[in-house]
Structure 1
Amino acid sequence: MNKHYRWQGEDLKLFCYIQPGASREEFAGLHGERLKIRIAAAATEGRANKQLQQFLAKACGVKKQAVEITSGAQSRQKTLTIRAPVKLPAALQLDAAGPATAQ
Protein backbone atom coordinates (compact mmCIF):
# COMPACT_ATOMS: atom_id res chain seq x y z
CA MET A 1 0.00 0.00 0.00
CA ASN A 2 1.25 3.47 -0.86
CA LYS A 3 1.72 5.62 2.19
CA HIS A 4 1.70 9.07 0.54
CA TYR A 5 -2.07 9.02 0.01
CA ARG A 6 -5.29 7.44 1.19
CA TRP A 7 -8.86 7.56 -0.05
CA GLN A 8 -11.58 8.45 2.45
CA GLY A 9 -14.78 7.88 0.56
CA GLU A 10 -14.70 10.35 -2.35
CA ASP A 11 -11.97 12.48 -0.72
CA LEU A 12 -8.24 12.11 -1.29
CA LYS A 13 -5.89 12.55 1.65
CA LEU A 14 -2.31 13.40 0.65
CA PHE A 15 0.74 13.17 2.89
CA CYS A 16 3.21 15.69 1.45
CA TYR A 17 6.65 17.16 1.91
CA ILE A 18 6.71 20.76 0.67
CA GLN A 19 9.72 22.63 -0.69
CA PRO A 20 8.85 26.35 -0.60
CA GLY A 21 10.87 28.95 -2.50
CA ALA A 22 11.51 26.62 -5.44
CA SER A 23 12.30 27.91 -8.92
CA ARG A 24 9.12 26.29 -10.28
CA GLU A 25 6.00 24.54 -9.03
CA GLU A 26 5.79 20.82 -9.63
CA PHE A 27 5.30 17.37 -8.24
CA ALA A 28 8.81 16.08 -7.54
CA GLY A 29 8.37 12.37 -6.79
CA LEU A 30 8.57 10.96 -3.29
CA HIS A 31 10.47 12.20 -0.26
CA GLY A 32 10.56 9.15 2.00
CA GLU A 33 6.92 8.10 2.28
CA ARG A 34 5.56 11.53 1.35
CA LEU A 35 4.76 13.16 -1.97
CA LYS A 36 7.25 15.96 -2.61
CA ILE A 37 5.81 19.17 -4.04
CA ARG A 38 7.87 22.20 -4.99
CA ILE A 39 6.19 25.59 -4.52
CA ALA A 40 7.61 28.91 -5.74
CA ALA A 41 6.12 31.03 -2.93
CA ALA A 42 8.16 31.68 0.20
CA ALA A 43 7.14 30.11 3.48
CA THR A 44 6.25 33.45 5.07
CA GLU A 45 2.85 34.72 6.14
CA GLY A 46 1.13 31.61 4.79
CA ARG A 47 2.08 32.36 1.16
CA ALA A 48 3.41 28.86 0.45
CA ASN A 49 0.30 27.26 1.96
CA LYS A 50 -2.01 29.38 -0.19
CA GLN A 51 0.02 28.63 -3.31
CA LEU A 52 0.06 24.92 -2.46
CA GLN A 53 -3.73 24.91 -2.20
CA GLN A 54 -4.02 26.67 -5.56
CA PHE A 55 -1.53 24.30 -7.19
CA LEU A 56 -3.35 21.18 -5.96
CA ALA A 57 -6.77 22.61 -6.78
CA LYS A 58 -5.74 23.24 -10.37
CA ALA A 59 -4.04 19.85 -10.67
CA CYS A 60 -7.12 18.03 -9.35
CA GLY A 61 -9.77 20.11 -11.11
CA VAL A 62 -11.41 21.47 -7.96
CA LYS A 63 -11.91 24.89 -6.37
CA LYS A 64 -9.28 26.12 -3.93
CA GLN A 65 -11.79 25.73 -1.09
CA ALA A 66 -11.87 21.97 -1.77
CA VAL A 67 -8.20 21.67 -0.74
CA GLU A 68 -7.72 21.77 3.03
CA ILE A 69 -4.49 21.56 5.02
CA THR A 70 -5.56 19.25 7.82
CA SER A 71 -2.22 19.14 9.64
CA GLY A 72 1.24 20.64 9.41
CA ALA A 73 0.31 24.19 8.43
CA GLN A 74 3.58 25.46 9.94
CA SER A 75 5.67 22.48 8.78
CA ARG A 76 7.13 21.17 5.54
CA GLN A 77 5.36 17.88 6.25
CA LYS A 78 1.67 18.44 5.62
CA THR A 79 -1.48 16.39 5.37
CA LEU A 80 -4.04 17.71 2.89
CA THR A 81 -7.55 16.63 2.03
CA ILE A 82 -8.88 17.17 -1.48
CA ARG A 83 -12.65 16.88 -1.56
CA ALA A 84 -13.95 14.87 -4.54
CA PRO A 85 -11.10 15.46 -7.01
CA VAL A 86 -12.30 15.64 -10.62
CA LYS A 87 -8.99 14.56 -12.15
CA LEU A 88 -5.87 12.86 -10.86
CA PRO A 89 -2.54 13.91 -12.38
CA ALA A 90 -0.20 11.00 -13.15
CA ALA A 91 2.48 12.80 -11.13
CA LEU A 92 0.56 12.02 -7.93
CA GLN A 93 1.63 8.39 -8.41
CA LEU A 94 -1.71 6.96 -7.33
CA ASP A 95 -2.77 3.38 -7.89
CA ALA A 96 -5.27 2.89 -10.68
CA ALA A 97 -7.90 2.00 -8.09
CA GLY A 98 -9.80 5.09 -7.06
CA PRO A 99 -12.18 5.82 -4.20
CA ALA A 100 -14.62 3.06 -5.10
CA THR A 101 -12.13 0.33 -4.20
CA ALA A 102 -10.18 2.11 -1.47
CA GLN A 103 -10.62 1.25 2.17
Structure 2
Amino acid sequence: MVTEPWRYSTDGVSVALRVTPRGGRDDIDGMETLSDGRSVVKVRVRAIADGGEANRAVMGLLAKALGVPKGRVKILSGATSRLKQVAIDGDPQRLGETLRQLTASKANRSEAKD
Protein backbone atom coordinates (compact mmCIF):
# COMPACT_ATOMS: atom_id res chain seq x y z
CA MET A 1 0.00 0.00 0.00
CA VAL A 2 1.47 3.33 -1.10
CA THR A 3 1.12 6.05 1.49
CA GLU A 4 -0.61 9.13 0.18
CA PRO A 5 1.84 11.91 -0.74
CA TRP A 6 -0.26 14.58 0.92
CA ARG A 7 -0.76 15.62 4.51
CA TYR A 8 -3.84 17.23 5.96
CA SER A 9 -3.86 20.46 7.96
CA THR A 10 -6.60 22.72 9.26
CA ASP A 11 -6.09 25.03 6.25
CA GLY A 12 -5.95 22.42 3.48
CA VAL A 13 -3.34 19.93 2.28
CA SER A 14 0.39 19.84 1.71
CA VAL A 15 1.39 17.74 -1.31
CA ALA A 16 4.75 16.25 -2.28
CA LEU A 17 5.28 16.52 -6.06
CA ARG A 18 7.78 15.32 -8.65
CA VAL A 19 7.57 17.72 -11.58
CA THR A 20 8.62 17.07 -15.17
CA PRO A 21 9.02 20.38 -17.03
CA ARG A 22 8.71 20.31 -20.85
CA GLY A 23 6.57 17.19 -20.37
CA GLY A 24 4.56 17.66 -23.57
CA ARG A 25 1.29 18.38 -21.78
CA ASP A 26 -0.05 19.69 -18.48
CA ASP A 27 -1.27 16.67 -16.52
CA ILE A 28 -1.22 14.74 -13.27
CA ASP A 29 0.35 11.34 -13.94
CA GLY A 30 -0.57 9.53 -10.72
CA MET A 31 1.64 8.57 -7.78
CA GLU A 32 5.17 7.24 -7.54
CA THR A 33 7.36 5.94 -4.71
CA LEU A 34 10.86 7.41 -4.72
CA SER A 35 13.99 5.38 -3.99
CA ASP A 36 13.98 6.71 -0.41
CA GLY A 37 10.45 5.38 0.12
CA ARG A 38 8.65 8.74 -0.04
CA SER A 39 5.48 8.97 -2.12
CA VAL A 40 4.98 11.82 -4.57
CA VAL A 41 2.32 12.95 -7.02
CA LYS A 42 3.80 12.96 -10.54
CA VAL A 43 3.03 16.15 -12.45
CA ARG A 44 4.12 17.17 -15.94
CA VAL A 45 3.85 20.59 -17.53
CA ARG A 46 4.62 21.98 -20.99
CA ALA A 47 6.43 25.00 -19.54
CA ILE A 48 10.20 25.11 -19.30
CA ALA A 49 12.00 25.33 -15.96
CA ASP A 50 13.15 28.89 -16.50
CA GLY A 51 12.22 32.02 -14.57
CA GLY A 52 9.52 30.21 -12.61
CA GLU A 53 7.46 29.30 -15.68
CA ALA A 54 7.18 25.62 -14.75
CA ASN A 55 6.26 26.51 -11.15
CA ARG A 56 3.47 28.82 -12.35
CA ALA A 57 2.22 26.09 -14.68
CA VAL A 58 2.23 23.54 -11.85
CA MET A 59 0.28 25.89 -9.56
CA GLY A 60 -2.23 26.62 -12.32
CA LEU A 61 -2.65 22.91 -13.12
CA LEU A 62 -3.24 21.99 -9.48
CA ALA A 63 -5.66 24.88 -8.95
CA LYS A 64 -7.70 23.85 -11.99
CA ALA A 65 -7.64 20.12 -11.18
CA LEU A 66 -8.67 20.72 -7.56
CA GLY A 67 -11.21 23.45 -8.29
CA VAL A 68 -9.55 26.17 -6.18
CA PRO A 69 -8.39 29.70 -7.10
CA LYS A 70 -4.73 29.93 -8.17
CA GLY A 71 -4.01 32.11 -5.15
CA ARG A 72 -4.72 29.15 -2.85
CA VAL A 73 -1.81 27.13 -4.26
CA LYS A 74 1.71 27.99 -3.10
CA ILE A 75 5.09 26.31 -3.26
CA LEU A 76 6.46 25.66 0.23
CA SER A 77 9.82 24.21 -0.81
CA GLY A 78 11.70 23.03 -3.87
CA ALA A 79 11.10 26.07 -6.09
CA THR A 80 14.23 25.22 -8.09
CA SER A 81 13.95 21.43 -7.77
CA ARG A 82 11.89 18.72 -9.47
CA LEU A 83 10.76 17.64 -5.99
CA LYS A 84 8.43 20.21 -4.50
CA GLN A 85 6.21 20.61 -1.48
CA VAL A 86 3.04 22.54 -2.31
CA ALA A 87 0.32 23.85 0.00
CA ILE A 88 -3.27 24.06 -1.20
CA ASP A 89 -5.73 25.97 0.96
CA GLY A 90 -9.29 24.74 1.14
CA ASP A 91 -11.42 22.00 2.70
CA PRO A 92 -8.82 19.30 3.56
CA GLN A 93 -11.25 16.38 3.19
CA ARG A 94 -12.50 17.51 -0.23
CA LEU A 95 -8.99 18.24 -1.47
CA GLY A 96 -7.73 14.87 -0.26
CA GLU A 97 -10.62 13.03 -1.91
CA THR A 98 -10.11 14.91 -5.19
CA LEU A 99 -6.37 14.11 -5.13
CA ARG A 100 -7.19 10.46 -4.45
CA GLN A 101 -9.54 10.37 -7.45
CA LEU A 102 -7.08 12.18 -9.76
CA THR A 103 -4.16 9.91 -8.88
CA ALA A 104 -6.23 6.70 -8.82
CA SER A 105 -7.72 7.31 -12.28
CA LYS A 106 -4.20 7.79 -13.67
CA ALA A 107 -2.94 4.62 -11.97
CA ASN A 108 -5.82 2.62 -13.43
CA ARG A 109 -5.25 4.07 -16.88
CA SER A 110 -1.52 3.26 -16.90
CA GLU A 111 -2.22 -0.32 -15.75
CA ALA A 112 -4.76 -0.74 -18.54
CA LYS A 113 -2.11 0.21 -21.14
CA ASP A 114 0.28 -2.56 -20.04
Corresponding residue number in structure 2 for 1:38: 44
User: Partner amino acid for 2:102?
Assistant: A
Aligned length: 93
Corresponding residue number in structure 2 for 1:60: 66
How much identity, in percent, do the aligned residues show? Answer: 29
Deviation at residue 24 of structure 1 after TM alignment: 0.9
Deviation at residue 27 of structure 1 after TM alignment: 1.0
Q: Residue by residue, what CA displacement relative to the aligned partner does 1:45-73 show, whole Å, maximum 9, x if unpaired?
A: 10000011110011111111100100000
Deviation at residue 3 of structure 1 after TM alignment: 4.2
TM-score by length of 2: 0.74
Per mean C-alpha deviation after superposition, the further-off stretch among 27-36 and 1-10 is: 1-10
User: Partner amino acid for 1:12?
Assistant: V
SS of the residue corresponding to residue 19 of structure 2 reads strand
Corresponding residue number in structure 1 for 2:9: 8
Structure 1 segments, 4+ long, off by >3 Å, are none
Q: Is 2:83 the counterpart of 1:77?
A: yes
Bigger CA radius of gyration: 2
Q: Which has the higher helix share?
A: 2
SS of the residue corresponding to residue 28 of structure 1 reads strand
CA-atom RMSD in angstroms: 1.7
Corresponding residue number in structure 2 for 1:100: none
TM-score by length of 1: 0.81
Q: Distance in 2 between matches of 1:56 and 1:3?
A: 16
Q: Would you say the 8 A contact 2:15–2:86 is kept in 1?
A: yes
Q: Structure 2: which 5+ runs fail to align?
A: 34-38, 105-114
Deviation at residue 31 of structure 1 after TM alignment: 2.7
User: Partner amino acid for 1:59?
Assistant: A
